[in-house]
Amino acid sequence: MPYALDITDLEKSYGESRVLGPINLHLTPGTITAIIGRSGCGKTTLLRCLGGLETPTSGGIKVGDGNVRQRDIGYVFQEPRLMPWLSVAKNTAFGLKGIKRQARDEAVAEALKLVGLTEAAGLLPKQLSGGMAQRVALARALAPRPALILLDEPFSALDPFTREQMQDHLLHLHGYYGATMVMITHDMDEALALAQRVIVLNGAPGKVIGDFTPDLPRPAARTSMAFFNWKRRITEVLSDRPAHRLSA
Amino acid sequence: MPAFLLALWQGLAGAGLLPAAVLPSPALVLATLIAMAQSGEMAQAIGATASRLAWGFVLGATTGTVLGGLCGASPLARRMLDPLVQSLRSVPSLAWVPLFILWLGIFEASKITLVAVGVFFPVYLNLLGGIANVDRKLLEVGQVHGFSRLRRLLRIQLPAALPAYVLGLRGGLGLGWMFVAAAELLGAANGLGFILDDGEQTGRPERVLAALLLFGICGKLTDTIMAALGRHLVAWQDTARA
């Protein structure tokens, strides 16, 4: 059962310096939400607060009914962060605990199949390409079947071709699991191709300056006029100036 | 290069340019080694030294592992114990000898303890550093999976510290050889260090050189074994092989 996510008056400060907020958001269960914004606007800080890696200075985050265990949240970092001493299969099983071996093996096999890495189960991280390693990181986040998956620019370090492949994988996985996903990205195309909702964060401290629900089919055809128009609308908000001047 | 130096050494000694009382020829050193092997003295000496080294290594490595692991895993233990250990580290290791002899006598126990002191510090420091300085990014993976402190230690910190630990064991073994030689030189009735001392006392430099050679060979052999074991344990490391 995917979780809803309620963020209320969330603020984060480091010392005297407020870097984020106040943020108020309600995310619908089972949707993909992209959070987009310039560097330094607090996107990653927001995601880290949602994932329990940072404690908000004030405000609240309610995941699901508010009684969620950490293991019900999957987190995909910008880099794969695989344990170099564990095989692909063991890295995938890393977050699985308190379940029988057979169930664990099945969960690992299923997660690896979904990311297309069944054959690589026995390899060590040092034997993987960047794209493969990031797919293992995705499989590791998926294996416990979390109801909420947080993704922090998961494909930013990949080449454009692999990135598009990974985006297709993500959509496929979302169709299969139906988890609520929140993804940080710099890439407008990625946000529009994957997400049902695009939230634009900007400023210092970072605040929501735009909230869009593009009515595009998924996967969205990136060359369509509708896609281009949405991209222009979001760019306009993000750049704080009319789009016609950008293209001029 | 070693073959050239050996040939030069033999040539100079054969031509009488090197006094045998100072630097005997390689042939004489080899003959001494053969005689030591045939009489059983070599095996007995290596056995005695290796036994002291092994016991000292086990004692030092075990203590270093326990304390290093404890201080690495627990900031409280680190705050309480590490300053004391660090201050003991600044005492020159040989300065412990009089105390060890007073406490433990002049026989095996004091020698083994001295070796253990030499082995302890590299093992302790490397393990502590390895555990305490694990990449924050890996720890965060445990955090997002809701790991307890114990689980984090067992699943992330200890495996991540393994390369540093192996390096500490290897360094400790090297120092162990140094300290076993020192301990035997300070007073032993057998062992390679005894042969060194005996060679000096009786004016037979070929025995000193033979013992030095045996120290070198044994040290290199144990280091090679330890390095191979280490490579096997951390085969997952993505390192460049020069």
pLDDT tens digits, B6-45: 888 788 877 777 777 778 888 888 999 999 999 999 999 9
Chain B CB contacts of A95 under 8 Å are 144-145
Tell me whether residue A163 is in a domain: no
Number of folded domains that form chain A:
1
* Eight-class DSSP state of A204: T
Output the CA–CA distances (angstroms, integers) from residue B97 to A24, B94, B109, in the order listed.
69, 6, 11
The model's pLDDT over B117-147, given as tens digits with 9 standing for 90+, comes to 999 999 999 999 999 999 999 999 999 988 9
Please give the mean pLDDT across all residues of chain A.
Answer: 85
Whether A69 and chain B come into contact, CB under 8 Å, resolves to yes
Do A190 and A58 contact (CB within 8 A), yes or no? no
Nearest-CB residue to B146 (from A70, A81, A124): A70
Tell me whether residue A63 is in a domain: no
Chain A CB contacts of B236 under 8 Å are 84-86, 124-126
Beta bridge partners of A74: A149
The model's pLDDT over A103-131, given as tens digits with 9 standing for 90+, comes to 999 999 988 988 888 999 999 999 998 88
The model's pLDDT over B154-188, given as tens digits with 9 standing for 90+, comes to 999 999 999 999 999 999 999 999 999 999 988 88
Whether A146 and chain B come into contact, CB under 8 Å, resolves to no
Which helix (H) or strand (E) segment is B175 a member of?
helix B158-185
Tell me whether residue A159 is in a domain: no
Range of the domain at A87: 69-146
Tell me whether residue A208 is in a domain: no
Chain B CB contacts of A81 under 8 Å are 137-138, 140-141
**Shortest distance, CA B137 to any CA of chain A (angstroms):** 7
- Domains in chain B (CATH in brackets) are 51-188 (1.10.3720.10)
Chain A CB contacts of B159 under 8 Å are 83, 85
Tell me whether residue A121 is in a domain: yes
The two tokens of residue B131 are 């555990």
Please state the φ and ψ torsions of residue A70, each to the nearest 5 degrees.
-55, -35
**Shortest distance, CA A233 to any CA of chain B (angstroms):** 35
Whether B4 and chain A come into contact, CB under 8 Å, resolves to no
Tell me whether residue A97 is in a domain: yes
Q: Where are the alpha helices (DSSP H) in chain A?
A: 43-50, 88-92, 101-114, 130-142, 160-177, 188-194, 225-239, 243-247
Tell me whether residue A239 is in a domain: no
Tell me whether residue A84 is in a domain: yes
Give the integer Cα–Cα distance in Å for A179 and A144.
Answer: 12
Give the integer Cα–Cα distance in Å for B187 and B206.
Answer: 20
